[in-house]
Structure 1
């Protein structure tokens, strides 16, 4: 059996989404049917729409999602009907070496990036044609079917719009600071790019006690938001950016985070660091975007450059932790949301993102 679901569908060659009706299958063994409450509109979705990344097509977009469990397949024990859940866009297989060593964020058995369930199937069709859920989530739809490992139970008190952002941008930013960089209280940090992920990084830096926190962006509106979220200094990119940061930090930042995904800004990260500093690539560039780094200078100064994938998030551990921080008033995720929209407004939200407008748009079902 299946049910009808309004969804935002993308096909190769178009930057726009078609809001139409797809068929969603009942949950198979080991999977969960979720009635969506909210879906974030994320830059990773835009990469697909703009042709930067290649994925199967047609695709129901959206990978930041939260909702209510409507039905469960045979063998599912982690969640029950009626539970509120956040969806993870990288479901772990729970069997590979990485998963068994606690590093599910580099699971080698997941089929998320193929946009497929563990058995190689998709739960979605449109007029008899197979449709792929983006990263095996497809949250821009009234209903989604996901693997049990990709649905993480959270308290009912967390609003769905907040929960959806915890599922990607907040977890990515928080994890980059806490899991990957290990930022210590009182140490300096610079964040290049203050969109949704960049603001999440700033929230996490403030939470762990970093100081000073320097935000860098071209947009004065985004820099104003960065100050609201905890940046102590804001700068506009310039040829003298490294010198300005050195003056503020007395020699360079201890940590630098790139939250845009631009080759030029990634290449500039080491210059913003003090000797022994750590730079973290959080923003994801288009496919086939090599970066040039002066390896000798990096080594001689004892600096490090690391990649952060999903903030090394372990969803079953980190989503409830972030939800608890929100409920305690220590992580004001709701303040990241600048626009709450309907599904029919999704193309306008992506156009605003391309213009560098808005903090975060969230589709509310």
Structure 2
């Protein structure tokens, strides 16, 4: 069947919105009519080459929609079901899924390749086109494996639902699971976009006393208190004095680095914000660059630097958990959606993201 999709043909070039031909769902696959897709920075990392990927590629990994058709062996989904994608599939059988680490599922090895051994599920310009994270939500229809889908209630608005596919659990889990924020902690979140604001929400729900947001964009600083921030700063250098004053010189128990582009030179000042025995969570993606650590201080102060993907979340358990928090008024989703765009304006949406205008821009698909 035919679909409209935003395809990346060459690194450094704009997204090209054009017609693609989708394969029919295979045995374990599902055809989804996509309704909304978040403009996550990770797709921009692919576009500019920070995250190498196999091109050409349909972008988008943060989406929600409605099941249109299911393969012959699919049992958990039926036409009409509302679904959120999990940008990392969870097969349920590999070592990582079976030990409660669905975010590390072995199928994740194919995310940047855009296809498994079966090959691409789309064609355009006479050749196969992959799908980012094996889903490609920058299209009004996608064919995806059932392992990449989570059924959600029909009352959930699609733009808000889409953010549960990546940004919300990644930020929330960075605070709750990887940072292990506790009641009374001081938390610093560096970068307040679609992931950082959810790290703020996670820290708030975990009971942090002080939550300091560090972001140079005035719009992000203005919005941060509504998500739970108690203080803001424009830079890490500015935040050092503020955190020291708030904690009587102890510094933050947990730091979460979610800057749009992480550079190696950021790590040392980031760790300066963290206390003895403190935890620094590295969530953002950036260039492959050298990192200089103050090793003596790092060792003798027992600081920890932890990487994470998906915030350590298990999508099949945590997406429903986050929906319940939204339904009870404890988690903000509506306020995360700063602007919506038709697919044809996807490049403008990314310009607005880079300019710091949006917490999260969302593409809403037409059919």
Partner of 1:346, secondary structure, is helix
**Contact 1:46-1:350 within 8 A present in 2 as well:** yes
C-alpha offsets along residues 72-111 of structure 1, whole Å, 9 cap, x if unaligned?
Answer: 1121112221111111111133332222211121223444
Query: Is 1:276 aligned to 2:277, yes or no?
Result: yes
Q: Are 2:293 and 1:296 aligned?
A: no
- Separation in structure 1 between the aligned mates of residue 112 and residue 218 of structure 2, nearest angstrom: 38
73, 77, 80: which is aligned to 1:79? 77
**Cα pair distance change 1:240/1:40, threshold 3 Å:** closer
Residues 359/253 of structure 1: CA separation in 2 closer, same or farther (3 Å cut)? same
Deviation readout 1:237-288 (Å, 9 max, x if unpaired): 16453232111122201110101123232332221111111110011112x2
Residues 132-169 of structure 1: CA deviation (Å, up to 9, x unaligned): 11111100101011111111001111111011101100
Report the Cα offset of residue 209 of structure 1: 1.6
| TM-score w.r.t. length of structure 2 | 0.95
Partner Cα separation in structure 2 for residue 238 and residue 316 of structure 1: 35
- Please report the RMSD computed on the Cα atoms of aligned residues, expressed in angstroms: 1.5
Gap regions ≥5 residues in structure 2: none
User: Take 2:227 and 2:153, find their aligned partners in 1: how far apart are those partners?
Assistant: 25
Indicate how the Cα distance of structure 1 residues 29 and 197 shifts in structure 2: closer, same or farther if over 3 A, else same.
same
SS class of match (1:49) = helix
Q: After the TM superposition, which of the residue ranges 232-241 and 45-54 deviates more from structure 2?
A: 232-241
Corresponding residue for 1:158?
Answer: 156
Residue aligning to 2:34: 36
Q: Which residue of 1 aligns with 2:204?
A: 206
After superposition, residues 51-90 of structure 1 pair within 5 angstroms as: 51-90=49-88
User: Cα distance, 1:116 vs. partner?
Assistant: 4.1
Tell me how many residue pairs correspond in the alignment.
362
Q: Which runs of 5+ in 1 are unaligned?
A: none
Q: Which residue of 2 aligns with 1:357?
A: 357
How far apart are 1:119 and its partner, in Å?
4.1
Q: In 1, Cα distance between the equivalents of 2:112 and 2:148?
A: 15
1:346 corresponds to = 346
TM-score for the superposition, normalised by structure 1: 0.95
